[in-house]
Amino acid sequence: MTNRIANLPPVSEMMRECGLEPKKQFGQNFLFDLNLTGRIARSVPNIEHTPVVEVGPGPAGLTRAILLAGAPRVIAIEKDKTTAPILSQIVDASTGRLSVIYDDALRVNFSELGLNEYAICANLPYNVGTELLIGWLQKIAHGERILSLTLMFQREVAMRITARPGDEHYGRLAVLTSLIADAKILFDVPNTAFVPRPRVQSAVVQIIPNPDKIRKIIDLGKIEQITAKLFGMRRKMIRGIMPNVNWDSFGLTGTERAENLSPEMFATLANNLL
């Protein structure tokens, strides 16, 4: 089943044949290194028994690795239709395991993909990665069966996702992620691995939804509101941002700053103040 995928020409050769080049407007940075794409794909938990959704496959370097790793079904969502000549060849070689949706992932209703449960694996476009992640976290909080997310981000964004209270990068993204999932950085990816070479380093993050955490969340939207409010002035004491709150009732003095509050405290504040 994987032989036809393995025997395809190199990604760079297929790009030359099809005249495909990375486009700035789509935030495209293509990854050709087979060792890296294979490592990312193999990091998806239980991939041989889990349907995978990929966002922004581009010339299908990671797509091929996901198929070679044994994913039973792959749905790739690609905004750039000029990738079709390459992706159609991968579809043909996949013997029915790969399908492609040509649309903006921000507009796609993942609940209508026909999958009861699935993993997400993607080298996300830098310009929409954070927005996509927050949307997926919202879906998970509302019961969408996303089993895991194995995602490439700019390293700074990866650190913001996995930060802890008091860390330099701790903020809204870490709070939202931590309240419904367990997240960690799997490994770094140097900018030399990409074409074109970005100015920043990247990292692969794995996010595993935690059912015990999800059950405790009443309204992720409220948590988004209060994190935006308090982290909007992150160096200011919380009593200066919300002066009418009785902070003692939450076991706080009001002299704390947003960067020192735990994700659980943000959830408590959101549920009681909004």
**Angle of helix 84-93 versus helix 11-18 axis, rounded to 10:** 130
- 220-273 classified as CATH 1.25.40.20: no
pLDDT at residue 21, rounded to an integer: 67
Q: Are 270 and 226 in contact (CB under 8 A)?
A: yes
Instruction: Please state which architecture CATH assigns to domain 3-214.
Output: 3-Layer(aba) Sandwich (3.40)
pLDDT at residue 119, rounded to an integer: 98
pLDDT at residue 36, rounded to an integer: 94
How many whole angstroms separate alpha carbon 153 and alpha carbon 145? 22
Sign of CA dihedral 127, 148, 56, 186: positive
> pTM for this structure?
0.93
pLDDT at residue 195, rounded to an integer: 74
Domain limits of the chain?
A: 3-214, 220-273
Q: What's the token pair of residue 271?
A: 């549920």
CB atoms within 10 A of CB 8: 16
pLDDT at residue 43, rounded to an integer: 98
pLDDT at residue 240, rounded to an integer: 95
pLDDT tens for the chain, 274 residues long, are 568 998 888 888 887 887 776 566 656 678 888 899 999 999 999 999 999 999 999 899 999 999 999 999 999 999 989 899 999 999 999 999 999 999 999 999 999 999 999 999 999 877 889 999 999 999 999 999 999 999 999 999 999 999 999 999 999 999 999 999 999 999 999 988 887 777 889 999 999 999 999 988 878 999 999 999 999 998 899 999 999 999 999 999 999 999 999 999 999 999 999 8
The three-state (H, E, C) secondary structure of the chain, written as one string? CCHHHHCCCCHHHHHHHHCCCCCHHHCCCEECCHHHHHHHHHCCCCHHHCCEEEECCCCCHHHHHHHHCCCCCEEEEECCHHHHHHHHHHHHHCCCCEEEEECCCCCCCHHHCCCCCEEEEEECCCCCHHHHHHHHHHHHHCCCCEEEEEEEEEHHHHHHHHCCCCCCCCCHHHHHHHHHEEEEEEEEECHHHEECCCCCCEEEEEEEECHHHHHHCCCHHHHHHHHHHHHCCCCCEHHHHCCCCCHHHHCCCCCCEHHHCCHHHHHHHHHHHC
pLDDT at residue 200, rounded to an integer: 87
- Residue indicated by tokens 């997926």: 136
CB atoms within 10 A of CB 69: 20
Q: Are 259 and 165 in contact (CB under 8 A)?
A: yes
pLDDT at residue 24, rounded to an integer: 63
pLDDT at residue 28, rounded to an integer: 62
